[in-house]
Amino acid sequence: MSPHVKARRGLPYVDPAKHLPHFSWKKRGGAAREVYCEQVPLSQIARRYGTPAFVYSRQAIQDAYRGIERGLAKVPHQVCFAVKANGNLSILNFLASLGSGFDIVSGGELAHLGHLGISGRRIVFSGVGKSREEIREALRYRGNRRDARGILQFNVESPAELEMLIEEASRVSRAAERAPGVSVRVNPDVKAGGHPHIATGLEEHKFGIAWPEARRLYLAHRGAQAIRWQGISAHIGSQIVDLQPFRRALERLASYLLDLRRQGIALEYLDVGGGLGVRYTSEHPASRSDYGRMIAEIAGPLGVKVLLEPGRSIIAESCVLLSRVVYTKSNSRKSFVILDAAMNDLMRPVLYDAPHPITRVVQASSRNENSAERSDIVGPVCETGDTFLVDWPLGSVSQRDLVAIWLAGAYGFAQSSNYNARGRAAEILVYGRTAKLIRRRETYRDLLRTDVLG
């Protein structure tokens, strides 16, 4: 059995509806009960919009965002949501209304923000492989008519990228004080991250620049006219549940900032990245408020503004992927529950070994799922890797029964694809008693529209 399947084998039953405040079990008549998202039953959403479908709680997004804000209250700061985690325009627009800035890693994400009229002063451009055209687009970006051109900050990750940025910035006519703000992403060589694919803070990883080389770049270009040294940044990985790796990385970053200050380079921003994890099954992550307070404790004495770039910790818990049972089957060794959701809808299990709890949406009565029948929960895609959970106590289910795949808000739809010529799922945003479609389900016509017959 491959390691990624072992990671999702025989896990103890988890019911996230018992600890996520904006999803709950409510009685629907007799002994039966059903999962609600805020005040809307999930079965109602399935009847109206079909499955598979990503269903988000707007209140959950708001509460997660404000939890981080509370932790950072004692220091000047800007929270910049990591667009790569979830790029739905309605969700981005809602976060902007809460005061969020945005961390992007591509020109396409910049275009999404431009479509919404987001001010460039709220955008940080990260990423290890920015193209020349993407740099040009960011230098020329104007989110609205009142905006000056450009974005808040470029986080550069190599000497070659810095040279390209200087070259392109030199071609843009602007006063010296309007030169683009630049930060070097330093690789602090701190081990962290929930899976090797989402750990980014060691020297063996492609991200960032080791401090000696980063220091040399700061000093070599401190007199540059085309750019303005503005900050220093780091990001050590994702799905980190312990605060100690963050503390070690942040203390190193603070020491680097003070070193540069002694050399006459006074930076305005300390960009601490993101990466705080959430509870999928048995994890016990630090709270968002404690995370923010730890950052404020170290950054406060430095007299700089903090940039924080969370993604998962804001959006993951807000969403379930709603799916229906297509078939059940068994052989001499196994029982299988085949869903209409698949690895093309949610890549995290096969890509990151990630176990997402799965529960039925409607239950005839309350019962102990740990003693229920165990099955492999799989999708219809023609891949053995299309397996969500192995030996999971879902219990007895029938065709057309609804299930919820939990904590699907981060890197769910964002990583979905059209593999096996499957249309991507619908997305629905719930607030109170209202459920609103925020992305329609893709049709076969959508899948064909960009092909050109030769």
Share of the chain above pLDDT 70, in %: 91
pLDDT for the residue numbered 174 = 57
| DSSP secondary structure letters along 330-342 | E-SS-EEEEES--
Q: How many C-beta atoms lie closer than 10 Å to residue 428's C-beta?
A: 23
Q: How many C-beta atoms lie closer than 10 Å to residue 10's C-beta?
A: 11
Quick: pLDDT tens for 402-429. 999 999 999 999 999 999 999 999 999 9
> Which residues contact residue 175 at a Cβ distance below 8 angstroms, ignoring those fewer than 6 apart?
none
pLDDT for the residue numbered 146 = 85
339 residue type, one letter: L
User: Radius of gyration of the chain from Cα atoms?
Assistant: 23
Instruction: Provide the pLDDT confidence category of residue 178 given band limits of 50, 70 and 90.
Output: confident
Has residue 199 got a pLDDT over 70?
Answer: no
**pTM of this prediction?**
0.93
pLDDT for the residue numbered 190 = 74
Q: What angle do CA 327, 338, 341 make, to 5 degrees?
A: 120
The residues that bridge with 307 in the sheet, in sequence order, are: 78, 271
Task: Enumerate domains of the chain plus CATH numbers.
Answer: 3-56+316-448 (2.40.37.10), 58-314 (3.20.20.10)
| Burial class, 174, CB count within 10 angstroms (exposed 0-12 / middle 13-18 / buried 19+) | middle
Has residue 173 got a pLDDT over 80?
Answer: no
Instruction: Provide the pLDDT confidence category of residue 237 given band limits of 50, 70 and 90.
Output: confident
What tokens were used for 245? 């790796």
| DSSP secondary structure letters along 174-209 | --GGGSPEEEEEB-------SSGGGB--STTSSSSB
List of long-range contacts for 17-23, beta carbons under 8 Å, 24+ apart: 17/359, 19/279, 20/60, 20/317, 20/406, 21/60, 21/63, 22/57, 22/59, 22/60, 22/63, 22/318, 23/57, 23/320
Q: Which of 101-110, 283-292, 320-329, 362-371 has the lowest mean pLDDT?
A: 362-371
Has residue 370 got a pLDDT over 70?
Answer: no
pLDDT for the residue numbered 238 = 82
Q: How many C-beta atoms lie closer than 10 Å to residue 169's C-beta?
A: 22
Q: What angle do CA 298, 215, 295 make, to 5 degrees?
A: 15
Catalytic residues: 382
Quick: pLDDT tens for 290-303. 999 999 999 999 99
Chain-centre distance for alpha carbon 443: 26
